[in-house]
């Protein structure tokens, strides 16, 4: 972000239910923008939209404008307004960083990517998210290994194929595609059954 000109800020607000409104968040964000000397270049409001959704009308519009270079900074009232999933939040913040757009959460004082402390906090959050992903992968692998050890067959259940009928149809000159359609099975399932049986 250039220090020679007034930073252009995008204000992002979200409420998850239709009976709430973004007024309180927006008022505070406008006040902070005025105090810090930011020029408000856009206000992006998602009303009645869950933070668990990764695609939201105003958020998508804001990210499009970020790619077009329409602002230097995104400000939110609280981090959970931007998103609930740590992975999604980090992906959004990483996208903004790559676009050269700073990020500030006014109610979460330490979350400000325009400061060294804020960038460090985001790196720590990223490390925890990566650690969480690794733990999940390890648990899934361990669960699959245990299931295999107990003789549980994994993957899709095998479909019964009338191999005798399929061979008869082949002898009549039908193609594998026609046979698969007649037996209402995928061609790959038919091929496997013919190879095995």
- Per-residue pLDDT band for 44 (boundaries 50, 70, 90) equals very high
Round the average pLDDT of the chain to a whole number and report it.
86
The string of DSSP letters for the chain reads --SSSPPEEEEEEEESSTTS-SHHHHHHHHHHHHHHT-EEEEEEEEES--TT-S--HHHHHHHHHHHTT--SEEEESSHHHH-S-HHHHHHHHHHHHHTT-EEEETTSTT-BTTSHHHHHHHHHHHHHHHHHHHHHHHHHHHHHHHHHHTTPPPSSPPPP--HHHHHHHHHTT--HHHHHHHHTS-HHHHHHHHHH-
Residue range 182-195: mean pLDDT, rounded: 86
Residue range 40-51: mean pLDDT, rounded: 90
pTM of the model: 0.62
Per-residue model confidence (pLDDT) at position 160: 80
Strands 102-105 and 8-15: unpaired
Short-list 141, 138, 2, CA closest to 73:
2
Residue range 17-41: mean pLDDT, rounded: 90
Per-residue model confidence (pLDDT) at position 54: 83
Q: Of residues 173 and 128, which shows the higher confidence score?
A: 173
Is the pLDDT score of 42 beyond 90? yes
22 vs 29: CA distance, rounded Å:
11
Is the pLDDT score of 60 beyond 90? yes
Per-residue model confidence (pLDDT) at position 62: 97
Per-residue model confidence (pLDDT) at position 2: 47
Residues assigned a catalytic role = 16
């Amino acid at each position: 972000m250039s220090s020679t000109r007034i930073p252009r800020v995008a204000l992002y607000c979200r409420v998850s239910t239709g009976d709430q409104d973004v007024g309180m968040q927006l008022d505070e964000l406008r006040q902070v923008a005025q105090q810090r000397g930011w020029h408000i270049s856009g206000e992006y409001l998602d009303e009645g939209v869950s933070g668990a959704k990764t695609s939201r009308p105003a958020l998508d519009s804001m990210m499009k404008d970020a790619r077009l270079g329409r602002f230097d900074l995104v400000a939110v009232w609280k981090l959970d307004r931007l998103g609930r999933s740590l992975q999604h939040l980090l992906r959004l913040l990483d996208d903004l960083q790559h676009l050269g757009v700073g990020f500030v959460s006014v109610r979460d004082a330490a979350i400000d990517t325009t400061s060294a402390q804020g960038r460090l906090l985001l790196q720590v959050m990223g490390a925890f998210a990566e650690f969480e992903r690794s733990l999940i992968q390890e648990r899934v692998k361990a669960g699959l290994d245990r299931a295999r050890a107990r003789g549980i067959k994994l993957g899709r259940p095998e479909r019964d194929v009338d191999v005798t009928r399929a061979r008869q149809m082949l002898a009549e000159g039908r193609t594998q595609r026609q046979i698969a359609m007649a037996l209402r099975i995928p061609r790959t399932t038919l091929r496997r059954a013919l190879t095995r049986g």
